[in-house]
Structure 1
């Protein structure tokens, strides 16, 4: 195997992708580098020949295995529709469909167009429920949790929702430990959905180009099956082998898909190195268009066509891959913080808010006139900025000041001097006993409950005014709103802002008896507003019946 050996029986990433560009069997040029990373993760990014040979043999086994599966009951597959994965049979683990509080085990079949579920009968499977993934409708599939009596205990299911269906379809893939089966099926279903969305979005109507994309998707799924069999101890990430799922997930993936569509429309995919021709050699081909593909191939020249070998596509893939690595590095720095408990989270947020906490006394001194000169300067500047309508310019000055501070921090290399923030748990230490801590926590819960009640009452009072349940209060509010509307229409809004600023700075100079009386009357008026009664029921249908 001269293509795979270079002074030693292993191959690197560039050679692997180059081989995939010539013969897209073991890899597709669009995601070949991601496939290589997954295959060589245990071997130091070098693909040894025994592993390569095993990978090809597993692909061959997978194709033969898929060709043996029977068509779902009550379904006639289209001429270009092929089974890509089956689960829930006697030789595999169960698949359960949840309908309300009932559960139905059955067989699940995925093709390059649809998803079929056949409920298990006494002797044979019932007629299949067809979920069409190729329709250009609003549809989604996402992970879900299931459990007895509606409790979401086991995160091992997927939920499919579509405007064509009257209810969602919930399918569970039971496992003892992880949820790799669910993740595998979720990736496959999304890949088929993304394939047809890609065809519809880019208006690819040519039969040859459409079948070429189907062929590349089928080969990607076959590679994924083979990799899962080869790497059973540590199953690979499914999206690394699936073109459309991968580039719908990673950054700048939409650019890669655009370049892929352009290269597909420009290229000649009927030649011997295309994905469709490889499937045809494996007796998996689209019989309707096989003659057209052969005619196109015969009209082409005898040179070898390198599929999608365009500089723009390669540049888009490289950029997307580099940005994905940057995001993974950034996410790795946040994983440790997410695993911390409530106490540590409180410590972190308290430490991060210290600068703001230190700034609060300074603002209090300004508003309470403890520093009259500074207060007058801030008041005059605020009034001038508002009157001259310099808010945008002031914000621009603030941004420039922030940039200067950032450049100063970079010049002083603060990130090297303090590359981490050290927080001491002793700052949260308490002299309270266990019982006192429990009582304090209980009082805290009561405080939160009181705040929720106040918020609920306030919203109900506002709703009561809006629907005129309290006529007197509603009339007063409408009169006040009418007067305010007239003032806003006549007087420029900046004068209202200036009045608000003056009120904010002068409200602490001295409290007159008139203001206290006004606040009392306002509170009495607010307390006199009746609220709309609330009744909580278990079943809303009982209310409709009454």
Structure 2
């Protein structure tokens, strides 16, 4: 009884002193909970001294949802989690996570939970409490007394409701939501996001239950994810040859459908499959009138089942946001099915993967409906798009496979105790959103949740893989920034930069040419003797190893002695600027030189063809005899001596003793080569009529 009075007096004193001013500014759920805790005869039992006020209020709400007292929650926590999670330094946050995950796993089994403002407020308060779980901590206050949360709290709590966020993209969702408030998320923005998400879910339900493509979708139980082209101000055009035809574009969780628009109805739907392995390619494409490539507003779809690629254009006056959105969601479905096929995932695990892709698309739809000053990067908000682009993204997918496999094992061992408490999976809450996936959904209801992606008090292997990939991506971004900074315009300027970068290699090459020319016989002879000795002794591999060791030692010494010193910038002398006429002439000369090189290459290939086909028999006999001699040398002589012969013949070719004979033999070889005719070529020009519709 003394403990009860002490707790009640402490709460009353804090309220009178104004310590809860940020909570008591207006009547709120916090006020009601505090008053209940004051009036409750068991106030001491509803309060943990290790937790902050915010955390105690959130834990009390969780206990009401679960129908368990605080003592029962504490006993269950001690019984289910490992000992290191009970340590005093991390107990407050771990116990809070335990209560939050259990309460959320229970709450999301109620239909329409996203439409309940109390649920939306509860999840946000969980994030606030997660940031300040200990009794010594207090919530961070803004000037307008609006409590906000950071990215760590959002990324920890929101993935516990899979439709709200995903472990892989939770930080990017937070960046979008908190971009206008100094990277701190306000409840008003978060609440608006969940409301839009609820609308996206309802729209998906209504579209999937409609008669649109019902006969086609019934075969695989496909769900309609997006429809476009039904509004005249935002048409969708399918390009066939030089013509474009308007129509309605529909994306499901298995395929893409286009229905050409006639006068009063739509034509039969064309299906472009995304689920089977047809070597599909989906990428942005340029379109324009009469087959020109002017406007970057289209998506190209290509597969082995089609004779020619399909181009779908999304016209708009400014930018290409519609195209980017459709490109991202089409790729998300495609990449999800590729993931399923690559790892041979089937059954409920396959449905789980498809649900992740669907939830990601619904989140993008919700964010797209909100007004943001910055344009959305749709690829960064979709899980499988991110895994395809991130370095080490394949490791994330491998860990996701392991997570799905763990869920399968937990279902088989349903009676065994689990090591840790996990959040709910996407598949475990799909029925409560009012829709099902595929034909095997009936096996899920009542069978318990699959293992989620986060666990109490520690990082799962999936979270570790995501963190490692993010760190690698940051390094890639920094490196790419330097790459973008050194890009210059103009062929002559780029050639000048390349020449300066390759100047050390050019000097080495000039030195080797100098030795091969025997302008100073003593240096050339010394080099020849040293290299001959290396080849004869079989030290060629050691010489190559010594070269690599030299480079490694040089780089390590440079790194050690160059720490903290500014990087020496490469100084390049820019070529003089050229006017338009000079640039055109330079381009023309470059094209002419390239054409000459291609012609010389074709002549070389045609003469080789003539030798192989014995168009010039005498030359063919000589080449055949040379090949036979070369084959005998390769078969009889050791490789070491072959290297030695090649080196001596090449290096001593212009020595004082061999120079006259070399010049004479090179002249004979050139005359012989010029005497070989080229194989005949006939050019056939076929006039093909362009396809028109």
For normalisation by structure 2, the TM-score amounts to: 0.70
Q: Distance in 2 between matches of 1:272 and 1:324?
A: 27
Contact 1:260 1:308 in 2 (8 A): no
Residue matched to 2:243: 102
Counterpart check, 1:44 vs 2:190? no
Is the aligned partner of 1:147 residue 2:270?
no
* 2: CA distance, partners of 1:516 / 1:541: 53
- 1:505-544 map, 5 Å: 505-510=651-656, 513-539=660-686
Q: Map 1:114-133 to 2 at 5 A.
A: 114-133=255-274
Choose 1 or 2 for highest CA Rg.
2
Match of 2:435 in 1: 284
The CA deviation at 1:111 is: 0.7
Task: Give the SS at the match of 1:422.
Answer: coil
Partner of 2:528: 379
Distance 1:468 1:287, change over 3 A: closer
**Residue 221 to residue 398, structure 1, CA distance change in 2 (3 Å):** same
Task: For residues 57-108 of structure 1, give each alpha carbon's deviation from its aligned partner in whole angstroms, at most 9, with x where no partner exists.
Answer: 2212223334444544574313642111111112662222122233222111
Residue aligned with 1:248, SS: helix
Contact 2:653/2:662, CA 8 A, preserved across alignment: no
1:263 paired to 2:410? no
Offset from partner CA, 1:10-66 (integer Å, 9 cap, x none) = 111121122223222321223322322333334332222121112112212223334
Greater CA drift, 455-464 or 500-509: 500-509
Residues 229 and 247 in structure 2, CA contact (< 8 A), matched pair in contact too:
yes
- Pick the aligned partner of 1:62 from 179, 193, 200: 200
Deviates further, 490-499 or 214-223: 490-499
CA 1:149/1:538 → structure 2, altered by over 3 Å: closer, same or farther? Answer: farther
Alignment equivalent of 1:162, drawn from 280, 303, 319: 303
Q: Distance in 1 between matches of 2:553 and 2:423?
A: 60
Give per-residue Cα distances to partners, 1:379-431, cap 9 Å, x unaligned. Answer: 11211222233222111100111111112212331772334323343xx349x
Provide, for residues 439-465 of structure 1, a one-character-per-residue CA deviation record: whole Å limited to 9, x for no partner: 777656544443332222112211222
Aligned match of 2:507 in 358, 362, 386?
358
Q: Which residue number corresponds to residue 242 of structure 1?
A: 382
Which of 82, 104, 126 aligns to 1:3? It is: 126
1:38–1:237 CA contact under 8 A, matched in 2 = no
How far 1:370 moved relative to its partner? 4.1
Is the 1:110–1:116 contact (alpha carbons within 8 Å) kept by the matching residues of 2? Answer: yes
On the 8 A contact 1:58/1:229 being kept in 2, the answer is yes
What pairs up with 1:223-372 in 2 under 5 angstroms? 223-267=363-407, 273-286=424-437, 289-297=440-448, 307-309=453-455, 311-372=460-521
Q: Conserved in 1, the CA contact under 8 Å of 2:164 and 2:194?
A: yes
Q: CA shift at 1:123, angstroms?
A: 0.8
Q: Distance in 2 between matches of 1:239 and 1:519?
A: 60
Cα distance in 2 for residues equivalent to 1:531 and 1:458 = 8
The alignment of Structure 1 onto Structure 2 pairs a total of residues equal to: 533
Match for residue 212 of structure 1? 352
TM superposition shift of 1:490? 1.7
Q: Is the 8 A contact 1:461 1:530 kept in 2?
A: yes
Verify the 8 A CA contact 1:105 1:120 in the aligned structure 2. yes
In the alignment, the residues of structure 2 paired with residue 132 and residue 502 of structure 1 have an alpha-carbon distance, to the nearest angstrom, of: 62
- 2:605 aligned with 1:459: yes
Corresponding residue number in structure 1 for 2:13: none
Q: What is the CA–CA distance in structure 2 between the aligned matches of 1:442 and 1:198, rounded to whole Å?
A: 48
Mapped to 1, the partners of 2:581 and 2:344 lie a distance apart of 69
The residue that corresponds to 1:492 in the other structure is 638
* Cα distance in 2 between the residues matched to 1:402 and 1:73: 64
Distance in 1, Cα, partners of 2:152 & 2:306:
46
- Cα distance in structure 1, aligned partners of 2:540 and 2:374: 57
2:478 and 2:148 mapped to 1: Cα distance?
Answer: 29
Shift of 1:159: 2.1
Q: CA separation in 2, counterparts of 1:48 and 1:294?
A: 35
CA contact (8 A) 2:285 2:298 kept: yes
Number of the residue aligned with 1:477: 623
Give the direction of change, closer, same or farther, for the CA distance of 1:329–1:41 in structure 2 (3 Å limit): farther
Kindly tell me: are residues 112 and 344 of structure 1, through their superposed partners in 2, closer, same or farther at Cα, counting changes over 3 Å? Answer: same
- Equivalents in 2 of 1:32, 1:169: separation in Å? 34
Deviation, structure 1 residue 254 = 1.1
Unaligned runs of 5+ in 2: 1-120, 129-138, 142-146, 415-421
What's the Cα RMSD here? 3.1
Indicate how the Cα distance of structure 1 residues 466 and 127 shifts in structure 2: closer, same or farther if over 3 A, else same.
same
